[in-house]
Amino acid sequence: MSRMQGEFNCCQRVRSVRLVCRQTTSSALKGAIQLGIGYTVGNLSSKPERDVLMQDFYVVESIFFPSEGSNLTPAHHYPDFRFKTYAPVAFRYFRELFGIRPDDYLYSLCNEPLIELSNPGASGSIFYLTRDDEFILKTVMHKEAEFLQKLLPGYYMNLNQNPRTLLPKFFGLYCVQSGGKNIRIVVMNNVLPRIVRMHLKFDLKGSTCKRRASKKEREKSKPTFKDLDFMQDVQDGLLLDVDTYNALVKTLQRDCLVLESFKIMDYSLLLGVHNLDQAEREQQMEGSQSSSDEKRPAAQRALYSTAMESIQGGAACGGSIDTEDTMGGIPAVSGKGERLLLFIGIIDILQSYRLIKKLEHTWKALVHDGDTVSVHRPNFYADRFFRFMSSTILRLQVIKSNFEEEKKTMLSELLDSTQF
Ligand code: ATP
């Protein structure tokens, strides 16, 4: 064997060992999460329902899972681990507020294998999705978990005042400790159900500095585009009727104010666009595939946290109002008049405006125009984000409403002129 060939084989081996390691770590992590959540939710059910108290936000429950099992925990095939649950009673309250029953939460997270999303973000976080599309799990850094804990009382206050929100819905915060490592996981709502084909996907910040999807990203089968891509490719924006536009923009405005008050920035609007007309064309081309393939199973509807519910108060106000046809998406129209459904949520909010961010801004502002970099003062960030979303991305369907008005006027004039 040549030296080169030997090195190649060696590299291949290292790569496959790494892959096996990663897969093993990932499957051990998934297993630990499922065992841990199963235990903690079960344990909670024995505690009586009561109002959330201030001290509930600071509670951390911890349980050891030896692989041979204990009188509290089952035996398992993973290395020993400790599972921590942050603020269990407070999160139970949040889940209840969002209409999620303990049994459904348990079933979604613990009964089916979790699906790992391949390489979605730049931060190196691992993302898992529950098989039923309901929940997304993200590994977060120590600072982010700490920040979420501090945020909880304010988050609670905000949810009570304003259930209409596109902010992430946090359902749980956990930590798996194993082999001297701490892996913190946050459970949130999944904004983009896999069951709905997203024809376009954007991660928008309202900044134009370096906000274009990379060549590598564009080559993916389902790329996530950015602000500059939207401005170039969707020049007419997404058109909404007046009521939907007002509800959505009002929700965004309130959310921005809340984020600013928490000194949060660098968040994104995650936007998935399902083009109903394109889907119909695709279906015709694909032939026999039934359109019902893309509809959510009825059993999931009651607890699904949808974009439409987020702007109308849905589950949190005690009722789901979206229909079968919209699949929880927000109806809109493209500049060409094609019927769209929008799937929207604000993501990545666990960034506080710390010293490091300030330094990053000062440095970037020297290199670029200070107003276009995405790392900014929270009030400026919120203002720019809101303006961009409510004018460049989302727009009023003025022409259609004018046309309807004109039609009404013409009709009444016609009736007037034809009165006997
Ligand atoms: P970055 O550092 O690039 O901001 P990150 O690792 O912090 O990335 P996020 O920005 O939170 O990760 O998310 C990265 C991607 O993961 C998003 O563009 C989106 O495709 C997916 N994602 C994140 N949160 C959700 C969610 N709640 N629902 C559906 N998809 C999500």
pLDDT of 168 reads 93
Which of helix, strand or coil describes residue 51?
coil
Amino acid at 268: S
Q: Say which CATH superfamily domain 200-402 falls into.
A: 2-Layer Sandwich (3.30.810.10)
Range with lowest mean pLDDT among 236-245, 290-299, 340-349: 290-299
From ligand 1's centre to the CA of 22, what distance in Å? 20
Range with lowest mean pLDDT among 98-102, 118-122, 169-173: 118-122
Q: What is the mean predicted confidence (pLDDT) over 335-339?
A: 92
Range with lowest mean pLDDT among 33-37, 174-178, 192-196, 332-336: 192-196
Which of 118, 194, 348 is the pocket-test mutation for ligand 1 (most atoms within 8 Å of CB)? 348
pLDDT digit string (tens) for 5-55? 554 454 454 444 344 445 547 788 889 999 999 999 888 888 888 888 888
**pLDDT confidence bin for 364, thresholds 50/70/90:** low
More confident: 322 or 337:
337
The residue whose CA has the least distance to atom 18 of ligand 1 is 203
**pLDDT confidence bin for 296, thresholds 50/70/90:** very low
From ligand 1's centre to the CA of 265, what distance in Å? 15
pLDDT of 1 reads 47
Averaged confidence pLDDT in the chain: 80
pLDDT of 194 reads 86
Atom of ligand 1 nearest to the CA of 189: 27
Range with lowest mean pLDDT among 5-9, 21-25, 211-215, 339-343: 5-9
Q: Is the pLDDT of residue 177 over 80?
A: yes
Q: What is the mean predicted confidence (pLDDT) over 142-149?
A: 90
What is the Cβ-side half-sphere exposure of residue 28, based on CA atoms within 13 angstroms? 20
| Separation CA 314–CA 297 (nearest Å) | 18
Atom of ligand 1 nearest to the CA of 192: 29
Candidates 143, 142, 138, 144; CA nearest to 125 is 138
Parallel, antiparallel, or unpaired: how do β-strands 238-240 and 394-396 relate?
parallel
From ligand 1's centre to the CA of 315, what distance in Å? 24
Q: Is the pLDDT of residue 353 over 80?
A: no
User: What is the residue extent of each domain of the chain?
Assistant: 3-189, 200-402
The residue whose CA has the least distance to atom 8 of ligand 1 is 121
170-178 sheet: strands from edge to edge: 60-65, 81-86, 170-178, 181-189, 135-140, 127-129, 115-117
Please state, as a whole number, how many other Cβ atoms lie within 10 Å of the Cβ of residue 44.
Answer: 17
Helix (H) / strand (E) containing 128: strand 127-129
Contact 172, 186 (CB under 8 A): yes
Contact 188, 136 (CB under 8 A): yes
The residue whose CA has the least distance to atom 7 of ligand 1 is 123
Q: Is the pLDDT of residue 179 over 80?
A: yes
Q: CA 137, 141, 143, 147: dihedral to nearest 10 degrees?
A: -10
More confident: 419 or 149:
149
**pLDDT confidence bin for 309, thresholds 50/70/90:** confident
Atom of ligand 1 nearest to the CA of 191: 28
* 108 Cβ inside 6 Å of ligand 1: no
* 159 Cβ inside 6 Å of ligand 1: no
* 191 Cβ inside 6 Å of ligand 1: yes
**pLDDT confidence bin for 300, thresholds 50/70/90:** very low
Contacts with 163 (C-beta within 8 Å, 6 or more apart), sequence order:
97, 313, 316, 317
For 160-222, the DSSP string reads HH-----S--EEEEEEEEETTEEEEEEEEE-SS-TTS--SEEEEE-S--TT-S--HHHHTSSS
**pLDDT confidence bin for 318, thresholds 50/70/90:** very low
* 132 Cβ inside 6 Å of ligand 1: no
Asked whether the CA dihedral 297, 303, 306, 311 is positive or negative, the reply is positive
In the block, residue with structure tokens 């809101």 = 386
Which CA distances in Å does 300 have to 104, 238, 304? 9, 28, 6
Range with lowest mean pLDDT among 97-101, 255-259, 264-268, 397-401: 397-401
Which of 115, 118, 127 is the pocket-test mutation for ligand 1 (most atoms within 8 Å of CB)? 127
Q: Is the pLDDT of residue 331 over 90?
A: yes
Report residue 410: phi and psi, to 5°: -60, -40
Range with lowest mean pLDDT among 160-164, 298-302, 340-344: 298-302
From ligand 1's centre to the CA of 70, what distance in Å? 37
Q: Give alpha helix (H) positions in 226-270.
A: 227-233, 242-261
Candidates 300, 306, 295, 316; CA nearest to 272 is 306
pLDDT of 195 reads 86
* 119 Cβ inside 6 Å of ligand 1: no
pLDDT digit string (tens) for 365-393? 555 555 555 555 888 999 999 999 999 99
Q: Is the pLDDT of residue 181 over 80?
A: yes
Atom of ligand 1 nearest to the CA of 190: 28
Which CA distances in Å does 346 have to 38, 139, 218, 239, 259? 28, 17, 22, 19, 10
**pLDDT confidence bin for 203, thresholds 50/70/90:** very high
**pLDDT confidence bin for 294, thresholds 50/70/90:** very low
From ligand 1's centre to the CA of 158, what distance in Å? 23
Model confidence pTM above 0.75: yes
From ligand 1's centre to the CA of 194, what distance in Å? 14
Domain 3-189 has CATH 3.40.190.10: no
The residue whose CA has the least distance to atom 24 of ligand 1 is 347
Q: Is the pLDDT of residue 303 over 90?
A: no
* 136 Cβ inside 6 Å of ligand 1: yes
**pLDDT confidence bin for 85, thresholds 50/70/90:** very high
Report residue 283: phi and psi, to 5°: -65, -40
pLDDT of 311 reads 74
Atom of ligand 1 nearest to the CA of 122: 3
Query: With helix as H, strand as E and coil as C, how does 274-286 read?
Result: EEHHHHHHHHHHH
Atom of ligand 1 nearest to the CA of 127: 16
From ligand 1's centre to the CA of 347, what distance in Å? 7
From ligand 1's centre to the CA of 48, what distance in Å? 35
**pLDDT confidence bin for 171, thresholds 50/70/90:** very high
Q: What is the mean predicted confidence (pLDDT) over 128-141?
A: 92
Per the DSSP assignment, residues forming a β-bridge with 182 are 177
pLDDT of 136 reads 94
* 56 Cβ inside 6 Å of ligand 1: no
The residue whose CA has the least distance to atom 27 of ligand 1 is 190
pLDDT of 314 reads 56
pLDDT digit string (tens) for 152-163? 988 888 888 888
pLDDT of 407 reads 58
More confident: 319 or 31:
31
* 224 Cβ inside 6 Å of ligand 1: yes
pLDDT of 174 reads 96
Contact 79, 64 (CB under 8 A): no
* 129 Cβ inside 6 Å of ligand 1: no
Angle subtended at Cα 313 by Cα 55 and Cα 344, rounded to the nearest 5 degrees:
100
| Separation CA 351–CA 363 (nearest Å) | 18
| Separation CA 302–CA 293 (nearest Å) | 19
